[in-house]
Chains A and B, each alone.
Chain A
Amino acid sequence: MESFDLQIKGVKKSFGDKAVLKDINVFIEDGQFVTLLGPSGCGKTTLLRIIAGFEKADAGEVILGGKVISRRSPAKRPINTVFQSYALFPHLNVFNNIAFGLKSQKVAKEEIERRVNAMMKITNIVDLAKEMPATLSGGQKQRVALARALVNEPDILLLDEPLSALDANLRKKLQAELKEVQKKTDTTFIMVTHDQDEAIAVSDRVLVMYNGEIIQDGSPEDVYEHPVNRFVATFIGEANILECEKVSDFFVKTAFGELAVDKAPAWKTGGVAIRMEDIHVCTAGENFANNVFDAQILERIFRGDYWELIAELPGANGNQPTQLRVMTDPDEIYNPGDQVKLYMETQYLQVLTD
């Protein structure tokens, strides 16, 4: 079977003297759901537009299935896009919007009918065929935009912040639908988003971008559990970052005492991240060999499905106290003023690169 792996080789792009993409190299396997995740201005949309052909790279190549496509116009690429604002044709009804690409390619009428109807079934919009875009809700427009792109059976589907305009509940629902459609059509999806929950929920692979570079590339679990640097640690989920000084390959010194880590830091001073759900509040009688610290609860915040505690760890050797965010189950009640012991298991302590 023919493969449509996408390779991005040394792609660079600047607008004026601002470098938006600095030497991007990625290999995306056929059939993956990949997310470009990053804050606005990180270059993720520009990279998407270069893949689509709306923007020309200053250097580098885009290679699809072994063929260089960087110099082809958008119409000559077997790639379709779901635009951020949907960009539906306002004067065409849903059916004709979806049929647009096939009509451009002069596909036979019966086949257009068959393919459009099949795609409307997959995206659950069969009833909307005669509606005009202006009468559709956000979620419906989203589905039409998805159908309009997918009906052309592209090798790669690009999605530019497809769900950002929708409310939280609908977004969750459509995330699941997107994932399902991707599996059904077995197409490579490349989605741009600034929403880390969305990226983690739908993708097989997350590329975290920052300042025109891909700073981490891995599975959602990997990116979440093993952030490489401070940016990733705080952008994806919210981690506590401990400022540390290297003591040895296995120990670092923090403001509240020495901490055992299982990866040797490459720095003299730097950060170690721990997520709030990975800090364990010890119950009476629990004992651990190391990484246990005294703390006082300052505040308890109700988050619905968990409690968020603000705990203060007194400084060792005259240092300032450190405040950490800790997550506990709804049935574990701690009150402000309680003295507790906190345990940080070495496997959850992520030694960052900076």
Chain B
Amino acid sequence: MASKTKIEVFEGKLTTRKRMRRFGLLLTTPGMLWLLVFLLLPTLFLIVMAFAQRGSYGTIDWSFSLDNLKKLVGFSSFGWSADNLLIIWRSLKIAVITTLLCLIIGLPMAFWIGAHKKNTATLLLALVMVPSCTNLVIRTYAWMLLLGAQMPPTWFARTLGIIGEAESLYPGTFAVYIGMVSCMLPFAVLPLYTSVERLDWGIVEAARDLYAKPIRTFYHGILSQMMPGIVASVVLTLVPTLGMYVVSDLLGGAKFILIGNLIQQQFFGTALDWPFGAMLGIVLIISSVISLIVFKKTGGKSFV
């Protein structure tokens, strides 16, 4: 073998590339093992289970078929229904709208925080994060009470004629959006703030100097620089929102079902159909992975 071993200096020691790679592998082993045992194996198990059947009394019958796929798109012994597909569609819609709302609210917030001195900005950012320290269920209960029939927000909405006299803000879609956005906003703001902090205002000045009108200045001067932050913010909001079920369960009312709630029903609720729950779980994983890939592609490249 005539291959030359390149000797390099690493942390003051002479070493070879091969040895360094082996050392790196050693360092990452615990993390790799963790992922293998607690992520990869359960996911594989989930995939296997997704093609099994529900046995009597909620047990798993390990005879494999594509029945769960058929059930997913709506075929059952009672004929076809759109319910499952509607639930998936609604989940996607809620997740996308929540993400957009977080972005629209989060952007000005990030700029506002970024306009403060470093110390104040850190404090404001901590304040944004504080609600996330309390339990999600408790926070959601708080919204339940606040948006209830006897509370000022509901009177207000009734007086303005936004909702009917007999209606209240909770339960319903509006309450779900409020709950989702308030839950996800901190995660949307953080990456946005980071990119605001890193903005090179020279580029904004360059755009103004080169005759750009305000919208063109914002687009090329600010948005172009913030794209990585925006992508991070979208991913951090979209993926958890897709699987969220506490908020919709508590604030949406009995008929408001998202894919998260459907899964929960399969495992712990009335349906008790673990294999079908596993199939739904896979749908969730696939949609999350797809959105990650899409954003990685758009975030890495120029988007003009």
Contact = CB atoms under 8 A, between A and B. Distances in A.
Contact of B302 (A52, A85, A91, A148): A91
B216 interface: yes
Contacts of A74: 205, 208-209
Contacts of A54: 205, 208-209
Nearest to A104: B211
Interface string B208-221: 11111100100011
A100 B227 CA distance: 19
Closest 10 CB pairs of A and B: A101-B210, A87-B202, A104-B211, A87-B206, A91-B224, A91-B302, A104-B212, A75-B211, A87-B203, A74-B208
Contacts of B213: 75, 104
A80 B207 CA distance: 11
Contacts of B211: 75, 101, 104-105, 152
A152 B210 contact: yes
Interface string A154-169: 0000000000000000
Interface in B221-263: 221, 224-225, 227
B304 interface: yes
B203 A104 contact: no
Contacts of B209: 52, 54, 74-75, 79-81, 101, 149
Nearest to A89: B220
A88 B224 CA distance: 11
Contacts of A92: 220, 224, 302, 304
Given A85-B200, A100-B220, A104-B216, A90 B208 contact: no
15 contacts: A52-B209, A79-B209, A81-B206, A83-B202, A85-B202, A89-B220, A90-B224, A92-B302, A92-B304, A100-B212, A100-B220, A101-B211, A104-B216, A105-B211, A149-B210
A320 interface: no
B86 to A, nearest CB: 39
Residue of A75, A88, A92 with highest tally of chain B CB at under 10 A: A75
Interface of B: 200, 202-203, 205-213, 216, 220-221, 224-225, 227, 302-304
A89 B207 CA distance: 9
Contacts of B203: 87-90
Contacts of B302: 91-92, 132
Given A91-B227, A104-B211, 11 more contacts: A75-B213, A89-B220, A90-B224, A91-B303, A91-B304, A92-B220, A100-B210, A100-B212, A104-B213, A152-B210, A152-B211
A73 interface: yes
Contacts of B202: 83-85, 87
A78 to B, nearest CB: 10
A89 B223 CA distance: 11
Contact of A83 (B205, B225, B304): B205
A279 to B, nearest CB: 45
A52 B211 CA distance: 12
Interface in A35-88: 52, 54, 73-75, 79-81, 83-85, 87-88
A100 B224 contact: no
A96 B208 CA distance: 16
Interface in A257-276: none
Contacts of B206: 81, 83, 87-89, 148
B293 to A, nearest CB: 21
A148 B221 CA distance: 15
Contacts of A88: 203, 206
A81 B202 CA distance: 11
A104 B227 contact: no
A75 B212 contact: yes
Given A89-B203, A91-B304, A92-B304, A148 B210 contact: yes
Interface in A82-136: 83-85, 87-92, 96, 100-101, 104-105, 132
B84 to A, nearest CB: 41
A88 B203 CA distance: 7
A104 B219 CA distance: 12
Nearest to A84: B202
Contacts of A84: 202
Contacts of A83: 202, 205-206
Contacts of B216: 104
Contacts of B207: 89, 100
Contacts of A85: 200, 202
Contacts of A80: 209-210
Nearest to B223: A91
A152 B212 CA distance: 13
A149 B209 CA distance: 9
Interface string A293-321: 00000000000000000000000000000
A318 to B, nearest CB: 59
Contacts of A91: 220, 224, 227, 302-304
A101 B213 CA distance: 11
Contacts of A149: 209-210
Contacts of B224: 89-92
B208 A73 contact: yes
Contacts of A90: 203, 224-225
Nearest to B201: A87
Nearest to A83: B202
A117 B212 CA distance: 21
A238 B213 CA distance: 48
B199 to A, nearest CB: 11
